[in-house]
Every structure is written in structure tokens, then in C-alpha cells.
Amino acid sequence: MKKGAVRGNALRVRPSDLRTMAFCPRLLFFEVHVPRERGIAELLRLYAGKVWHFLIELFSEGEDEVAAEGAFGGALLKGRADLVRDDAIVEIKSGRGPREGVWYGDFLQASAYAFVLGKRKIVIKYRDKEVEMALKENHEIELVEAIKLLKMIIEGYLPPPKRNSWCSKCPYREFCDALGEEGDDWFPKLPWVKTS
Ligand code: SF4
């Protein structure tokens, strides 16, 4: 089933799309509506990331690559959690974490797996650190709000850009620049980092 397909009455979304949206909502719009072939450098980076995942999963406690599918926030979430322990979801990231807390998109992605699989704790293992976070009711509300934005983008809403230092490497830069800087002021600028 293609990204963003509708099954029954629920729009199917991938938790990894929440991560892309937190990084830049307009980038997610392009990935959904103007998909492109990946370049060699990107494929190599993806492959290196898979090897890193494999090695960490091999030496970690828990069941790896667990299918997670369930209704949440008015959508059907479907993806694969890197590791599932009795008490937590563990997400493995090959990059470095922020100085404090976790990257916001990683929080959204891991929380989505956790709520679908009935866990109340997330662990994010970065290359340079590991962060644990107990999930509370306010996190659930935050995730529902993020899923509402995600659904709008998948259904065709063009969000404003979230400019960042990576823009110069973005494969959609030309499109994005042509669309201009302005966007709807009401669209929230999602934070970069989650600390609590
Ligand atoms: S150029 Fe920057 S703001 Fe535009 S889509 Fe790419 S990452 Fe987002």
C-alpha cells in the first residue's frame, strides 16, 4: 500500500513520517507528493545506517524489527520498531543526539511505536548517548496533535518551510525556493529538541 493510503476510514501513516515532519514539514510534503529516486550517496548512507542498526540490535536486549500497527489519533499507524523490550520501545539512531534530551522527531516516532504497542517508556540510542523517557498523558496529547498536522500534509496541505542548515543539501531546494518563504502563520513551528 502506498504512503498515506486510506484503509477503511483511517489514513495510513508511518511513524517515520512524523520524524520527517518534525525536521521540516515542507520536506515531508515533497516526499509524499513529489517522490524522487534516491541518489547513490543517499543510498550508501542508508546502507551504512542499516549496518549500524543491525550491529546495535545484535548486542541489545529485546526483540528486533517488531511490526507495529494500530489506530491512534484518527490514523492507522504502521511501521517497525527497532527493538521492543518488556518495559520500553528502543529506537536506534546512527547520528548524534542533541546536547540535552532527544531530537523532537525521534521522540514523536518512538512515542508512536510505544503507544501502538502499549509501552509507557521510550529509549533512544544515539551514536554518542542513550536517553530514556517515561511517557505521560501530555505526551499522548502532543502526539495526537502532531498526527493531525501529518494527516493534513498527506492529504495535500502545503506547509510553510522550516529553514535549517541542511536546506543547501535538500533535493527539493529549487521547488521550495520557488514557493517562497511565506506560509500560514498558524502552522506551528515544531521544536528541534524534546527535553521532558
Ligand atoms: S529546502 Fe529546507 S525548508 Fe525547503 S523543503 Fe528542503 S529542508 Fe525544508
* 25, part of any domain: yes
* 131, part of any domain: yes
- Residue 180 is predicted with a pLDDT of 81
Could you report the per-residue pLDDT of 20-50, keeping only the tens digit for each? 999 999 999 999 999 887 777 777 777 777 7
Check residues 184 and 57 and name the one with the higher pLDDT. Answer: 184
Distance of CA 181 to the CA centre of its chain: 24
The model carries a pTM of 0.89
The per-residue b/e assignment along 74-89, b for 16 or more CB within 10 angstroms, e otherwise, is ebbbbbebbbbeeebb
Pocket test for ligand 1, best of 32, 176, 192 (most atoms within 8 A of CB): 176
Q: Residue 173 CA: which ligand 1 atom is closest?
A: 1
**What is the pLDDT confidence band of residue 4, given thresholds at 50, 70 and 90?**
low
Check which CATH number belongs to the domain holding 77 and give it.
3.90.320.10
Q: Please say if the pLDDT value at position 1 is more than 70.
A: no
* 49, part of any domain: yes
**Could you list the residue range(s) of the whole structural domain that residue 99 is in?**
6-180
* 33, part of any domain: yes
* 186, part of any domain: no
Task: Report the number of distinct structural domains present in the chain.
Answer: 1
Q: Which string of DSSP letters, residue by residue, matches 163-187?
A: --TTGGG-TTHHHHHHH-S---TTS
Could you report the per-residue pLDDT of 81-132, keeping only the tens digit for each? 999 999 999 999 989 999 999 999 999 999 999 999 999 999 999 999 999 9
Which letter does DSSP use for residue 14 in this model? -
